[in-house]
Chains A and B, each alone.
Chain A
Amino acid sequence: MLEFPRWKYWLVAIVLLIALLFALPNVFGEQPALQVERRDRVAMDDTAVQTVAGVLRAGTVQDDGMYVDAGRLMVRFRSVNEQLKARDLVNESLSGDLRSALAYAPNTPAWMRRLGLKPMPLGLDLRGGLFLLYQVDIDSAVTQLLESHQQGFRRTLATAQLPFTDIVSVTSGQAQVPNALRISLPAGSNALAVRDALAKENPDLAFNVVDSPSGPAVDMTLTPAQIRARQDYAIDQTRTTLSNRVNELGVSEPIVQRQGLDRVNVQLPGVQNSAEVKDILGKVATLEFRLEDWQNNAYDAQSRGRAPLGSKLYKDQNGQPVLLKRELIATGDQLTNATSSVGDQGPQVNVTFDGRGGDSMFRNTRSNVGRRMAVVYVEKSRKTVDVAGQKVERDITEERVISLATIQSVLSNQFRITGLQSGESRELAPLMRSGSLAATIYPVSERAIGPSLGQENIDKGVMALLVGMGAVFVFMVLYYHVFGIVANVVLLANVVLLTALLSMLRASLSLPGIAGIILTVGIAVDANVLIYERIREELRNNVSPQAAIRAGFEKAFSAILDSNVTALIAGLVLWVVGTGAIRNFAIVLTLGIATSMFTSLMGSRALITLMYGGSRKVSKLSIG
């Protein structure tokens, strides 16, 4: 008797059904579309959608349906021409409030979209686009931290009236760059008192009394964890800054991610002009903290078109005019950290300044409690403009007020900005960080893939997959007859399962990824061949058909497991070490091994038992 437990049938059926559902969105293809979102990132509502529809109607652009997904409007078009026309229309009349980006919208039916079922995203090598890899100068981030500590120590020691000769950055241990501060003291001074005073002010730092050739000294060495935290902070800050700028580019589905220890990569599907992108990404941002000019009326200044002496006219976050004093309280390079949290007064941003900034903050707010202070975000960029046919590089400065809050008490180097909406605090903190002295970045790699090449890569990959699978199908049927058909069904199930997993993971598919799928077909066949050859062998030894099937599955199991474990090792190593397209290959290979184990051991056995199992009498197997 050959049997297969009922629950396993159910398991196979349910898994395959779910897989089919998740894999299905991939067969519908894509359509040119325009993605429209509000500049303030509020979700698009019906009115906004109607406005866009009205603009398109007025410009006689025929859309092919529109829908709101994740707060953004997707308008689909039948042709790229319509898409481009629509973008120009939206940009002309609505660019003040809305931001549009050329995109591709999946043609999945509405019910699938509502269930959140999406096709696999395509990598840049399949879609075309721009890949930029930036190196972040994390060493300078650590140097900055040391400098800020140095200023703090000087203040602490001055306040405590403890004399010191100098404080310098030193390199201790095996570090390549300075990672420690040495506070040298005059001969005969009490090093222990200095250490205790500093340790009291800086409980998270470690201080050691040392005897240097020039006299007593106190050393503060950053721990590897502190250095790593600082480096992570620098990378994170760079990532946020780049993300903010990428959002301004109007590119759909951009990716900004950390790569390795000290790099950040930017992936922009559909973008070709790298010069323009690099101009925008290479902007330098800083922050300015200014007091509001409370003596003059901003609306008057706006109508006169001129700010009073000593003040400058700005617009606040809501577009209302505001007058700010020209005198600076502090700048972004004095800001050491800004984080968002929820305090007893609701969402807030916690701001930390270095010693110099803290001092200035204290002096300026002492006599201004009750007045308002603004945070201005200043961005400098270099743009290439056409002046009478000549290409001229111009430095462009953009300023905007990102926060305007009442000073409720005298501030020092640490304070909070409260009274924010929760979304606001989460936007303000990274914006402030990105305006603090950012780690220097410079491009180290760049790749621009033309859209035609991307399409060619897809076509070739799909062709290789279809031909390869087709040939395997024919071969398997010729060689194993009915069992070959079973193997083919199982192979197909494997491809469906793998596609479903990849769609669920939202890992963008690359050309090597397609190669991985093709290779997986080879692996999946191997398991079936092991089983069938074993069954044939048993049959040759005059074992009854049903017993042969059972023995085939059981005896082939260890060989299948072994051969998959070794391939799995290779796949996992590549997953860990690889990046980009190669990592995608590793993901596909690793998942493919897992799915092929499932389909050939469970799926194949379920089908064969269904055909030959139970108590029926089987005298012959159609196994070639």
Chain B
Amino acid sequence: MEFFHKRTNFPFMSTRKLWYGLSVLLLVVSFVSFFTKGLNLAIDFTGGVTIEAVFPGAADIDAVHSGLEAAGFREPQVQNFGSSRNIAIRLPPEANLDGPALRARVDAVLKQVDPRAESVNFEVIGPQVGNELRQSAILALSCTLLLIFGYIALRFHTWRLSLGAILAVMHDPILVLGVFSVTGTLFDLPVVAAMLAVIGYSLNDTVVVFDRIRERFESSRKLDPKLALDQSINQTLSRTIMTKVVTLIVVVALYVLGGPALKGFSEALIIGILAGTYSSIYISSAVALDCGLKAEHLLATAVKKPVDDLP
């Protein structure tokens, strides 16, 4: 079995302007949504209380909601979690953190709705801890991006490729943020972990394609850059699709079977992997081409000429 029995020859680069447009559109939507609507942050980042409870039958969400309000809780959020029998309750952070008392109050409300209801997970996070987790998540994201930029600068000998790679690496996590913001999916700590993994993977295809571009130029220095890029992408296409399919198989298995606790995590990975495949073709390679990538930029070291191709 092969995806492509014959060598493919898709003219990827000629349609790149169209795809630039799509990317810009998606990024703008992501940014607008991120800055206006924001993310549905989990208590990991805001502080607060989460209680997961199991009911013997379908849970009466409205009854739980009004019960909580009657018991004096401000702005309780009650949602199904995984199945109709499971619910998740979210409460805003409280100044006085008395876990046991809080749990007893919520349990009383649950028992009132259904005596057989049972809380199985109870989590209180102080607002201060939430704040710090938010900061360390931002720190982790920016550290990873910076280190990867550094790696890119070392790895590719021309700024044309580096710029392409950097834009692609930025593109993917922004789209993940965008989708989470637009759909209002709960953004928790595991999602940040998934985003870091996405940043790590995003470069994967780009590197493979760039390696191939150098090989193409090595075999023929006079090759037209646009043709060289198209050939490189086509030659690595079956590998790109194959690895993505396999990684998607396991991540989708995780999404479907891993339970509600890993939903956000696997969703971020799925979006990130899809975006990464696309960006390795239409962002990193296309940007390099539009920056005027030529054979001599890549082969400069081969002819032992001092490397200095800064603009």
Contacts and interface: CB of A to CB of B under 8 A. Distances in A.
B200 A569 contact: yes
A89 interface: no
Contacts of A586: 193
Contacts of B253: 464-465, 467-468, 471, 518
A475 B246 contact: yes
Specify which of A453, A465, A511, A589 lies most central, judged by the most chain B CB atoms within 10 Å of its CB: A453
Interface string B126-143: 101100100010011001
A467 B118 contact: no
A375 B131 CA distance: 43
Count class of interface residues, chain A: 35 or more
Interface centre among A463, A478, A570, A624 (most CB of B within 10 A): A570
Interface string B218-247: 000000000000000001101100110111
Nearest to B208: A559
A483 to B, nearest CB: 12
Contact of A511 (B99, B136, B144, B262): B262
A450 B120 contact: yes
Interface string B119-160: 111111110110010001001100110011001000100000
B6 to A, nearest CB: 10
A512 B194 CA distance: 10
B88 to A, nearest CB: 12
Contacts of A444: 97, 125-126, 128-129
Q: Tell me whether chain B's interface is mostly helix, strand or loop, or mixed.
A: helix
Contacts of B252: 468
Contacts of A536: 2
A450 B118 contact: yes
Contact of B238 (A460, A523, A533, A569): A533
A445 B98 CA distance: 10
A133 B126 CA distance: 10
A583 to B, nearest CB: 9
Contact of A568 (B200, B251, B262): B200
B120 A452 contact: yes
Contact of B259 (A457, A478, A589): A457
Nearest to A511: B261
B216 interface: no
B29 interface: no
Interface stretch (A92-100, A293-301, A574-582): A574-582
A415 B120 CA distance: 52
A518 B190 CA distance: 14
Contact of A515 (B7, B211, B265): B265
Given A558-B211, A565-B151, A448 B251 contact: no
B167 to A, nearest CB: 15
A567 interface: yes
A525 B99 contact: no
B280 to A, nearest CB: 11
Nearest to B269: A519
Contacts of A471: 249-250, 253
B211 A562 contact: yes
B140 A573 contact: yes
A526 B247 contact: yes
A457 B261 contact: yes
Contacts of B201: 563, 566-567
Interface residues of B, number: 69
B204 interface: yes
A177 B119 CA distance: 42
B119 A624 contact: no
Nearest to A461: B258
A446 B103 CA distance: 11
Contacts of B202: 566
Given A444-B128, A446-B124, A468-B250, A574 B257 contact: no
A274 interface: yes
A525 B243 contact: yes
Contacts of B52: 453
B189 interface: yes
Nearest to A476: B246
Given A468-B253, A525-B247, A515 B128 contact: no
Contacts of B277: none
B207 A563 contact: yes
Contacts of A574: 140, 144, 193, 196
Contact of A573 (B2, B123, B147, B261): B147
B182 interface: no
Interface of A: 125, 133, 135, 260, 274-275, 278, 442-450, 452-453, 456-457, 460-461, 463-465, 467-469, 471-472, 475-476, 478-479, 511-512, 515, 518-519, 521-523, 525-526, 529-530, 533, 536-537, 540, 558-559, 562-563, 565-571, 573-574, 577-578, 581-582, 585-586, 589, 624
15 contacts: A135-B126, A274-B103, A444-B126, A448-B99, A460-B259, A475-B246, A512-B262, A525-B246, A530-B208, A565-B151, A566-B148, A567-B197, A571-B196, A578-B140, A586-B193
8 closest Cβ pairs, A-B complex: A570-B200, A468-B253, A522-B247, A450-B120, A275-B100, A567-B200, A444-B126, A468-B250
Given A468-B251, A475-B245, A512-B262, 12 more contacts: A444-B97, A460-B259, A465-B253, A468-B250, A469-B250, A512-B193, A522-B251, A525-B247, A563-B203, A574-B196, A581-B189, A585-B193
